[in-house]
Each structure stands twice: as C-alpha cells, then as structure tokens.
Amino acid sequence: MNPIATLYRLQEIDTTWDKIRRRILQLQKLTGGSPELVQMREQTQATGAELENVRKEQRDAEAESGSLAERIQESETLLMGGQVRNPKELEALQASIEAMRRHKGALDDRSVEAMVKADELGQRLATQTSNLDGQEDEWQSKQQAIDEEMQKRKKEYVYLKNMREQIVKDIDGKMLEQYEYLRGRKNGIAVAKLEDGSCTACHMQVPVGQIGSVRRGDELVACAACGRILFAA
C-alpha cells in the first residue's frame, strides 16, 4: 500500500472511531434515563419536597395554635378567678388575651390554607409518581438494549484504537503530522479522493499536471483549492 493510500485508510479508521466515540458519549448520557425521564424525576422530587414543607408548615401552625390555646385558657382562668384586682393589670390581661386570640386565629387560617395546599400537592404527587413509575418500567426495558450497545461500541472502539496504532507505525512522521494538522483544520477530512479529475471534498478540478503525481501516490499532492491531500484509488 502506497503512503497516501495508507493515510486514506487511517482517515477511514479515524472517521469511524470518531463516530463510535460520539455514540458512546450519547449512550453514557442515556444511562441515567432519557431527558424526559430525568425531568419527570426532578418534577416529582420537587413536588415531594414542596409537600413536605407545606405539611411542616401546617404542623408548626397547629402546634403553635395549640400552645396559644393553653395560654389563653390559663389567662382566662386568671382573669375570671379574681386573683387580679388592679384595673390596669386586668386591662393588660384582657388585651393580652385578645392579642393571643387574634394570633391564634391567624395561625388557624394558616393551618387550613396549608392543609388545602397539602391535599392539592398530595394529589399532584400521586399522579406524577404513577406516571413516573410507568416511565421507569418502560425505561428499564430499554436500558438492557442500551447496555448491550454500549458494550458493543466499546469493543469496536478498542479494536479501532489498536488498528490505528498499528497503521500509524507505517506512516512517515512528517506525513502523519501534516495529516493531523489538516484533520484539525478541515473538519476531520485531511485526505480527499480524486474522481473524474476533481477533488471530492471541494469538487474543484485538479490541474492535469498534478493528476499523474496523485495517481502514483508516492508524494503528498495538495488540492490547490482546499489544501487537502489528494488520493487516487
């Protein structure tokens, strides 16, 4: 195999290798679930967290309301028991009771609002959980196929890597350097076939004087238009 043909073979390996590498990355992203499934998990988790916060708010309001009820009862007992006789103290005690009643009323309202919201969130969470369970079951059936493809692609990746290492040994260092340079600047295509006197990468006509050199394949001939190495099969 002439040097340019070897370069072209290397490019075929590299192109396939790149495709497999991209596919492996895609499969790795899918390992945890599809984007839609991940979003459903996050939404369900967020609803569950919100529900827990609302229930805590309800519990806190009920606990504080219960504590206030006891304090109101104690203050009313003190007020009605006759132990307090000073008019100013009686007035202050009455004002304190009224303030605690207002506060308790606000707490009871907050508790009811939290209870209603908790019921709504509970229903939403039940629906989301049911839908999520269905999607998880469906995903599990796909996961096996993804795992199998992942193993297959990894084997292909290693095989091509080994093949590349072998073929690179037969390529001149400067020629390989030029190839790598062009691959980086020419969208991964460093070597272009010569067909019907034209470069298949840019479709420009190759001067007649260069075609013979390209067909011999013993030296690098660059396309005058796009700069890629020309190869004649």
Looking up residue 214, the CATH number of its domain turns out to be 1.10.287.1490
Q: Quick one: 6 exposed, middle or buried, by C-beta within 10 A (0-12, 13-18, 19+)?
A: buried
| Residue that is last in its domain, among 97, 125, 143 | 143
Clarify whether residues 40 and 134 are in a common domain.
yes
Clarify whether residues 1 and 47 are in a common domain.
no
In a domain, 148, yes or no: no
Q: What does pTM read for this prediction?
A: 0.59
In order along its 233 residues, the chain shows pLDDT tens digits of 688 999 999 999 999 999 999 999 988 887 777 788 889 999 999 999 999 999 999 999 999 999 999 999 999 888 788 777 788 888 898 899 999 999 999 999 999 999 999 999 999 999 999 999 998 888 888 888 888 899 999 999 999 999 999 999 989 999 999 999 999 999 999 999 999 999 999 999 999 889 999 998 878 999 999 999 999 98
The neighbouring-strand residues paired with 139 are none
- Helices and strands, counts by H and E, the chain: 5, 3
| Residue that is last in its domain, among 143, 164, 180 | 143
The neighbouring-strand residues paired with 227 are none
Domain hosting 81: range is 31-143
In a domain, 125, yes or no: yes
Clarify whether residues 5 and 57 are in a common domain.
no
- Cβ atoms of 198 and 156 within 8 Å: the answer is no
In a domain, 152, yes or no: no
Clarify whether residues 23 and 63 are in a common domain.
no
Q: How far is the C-alpha of 148 from the C-alpha of 48, rounded, in Å?
A: 34
Collapsed DSSP state (helix, strand, coil) of residue 138: helix
In a domain, 74, yes or no: yes
Clarify whether residues 23 and 38 are in a common domain.
no
DSSP state of 14: H
| Residue that is last in its domain, among 143, 159, 188 | 143
How many domains is the chain built from? Answer: 2
In a domain, 163, yes or no: no
Clarify whether residues 17 and 66 are in a common domain.
no
In a domain, 14, yes or no: yes
In a domain, 189, yes or no: yes
Identity at 223, one-letter amino acid code: C
Clarify whether residues 51 and 123 are in a common domain.
yes
In a domain, 159, yes or no: no
Q: What is the pLDDT of residue 113?
A: 96
What does the CA dihedral 124, 127, 130, 134 come to, rounded to 10 degrees?
A: -120
Clarify whether residues 125 and 37 are in a common domain.
yes
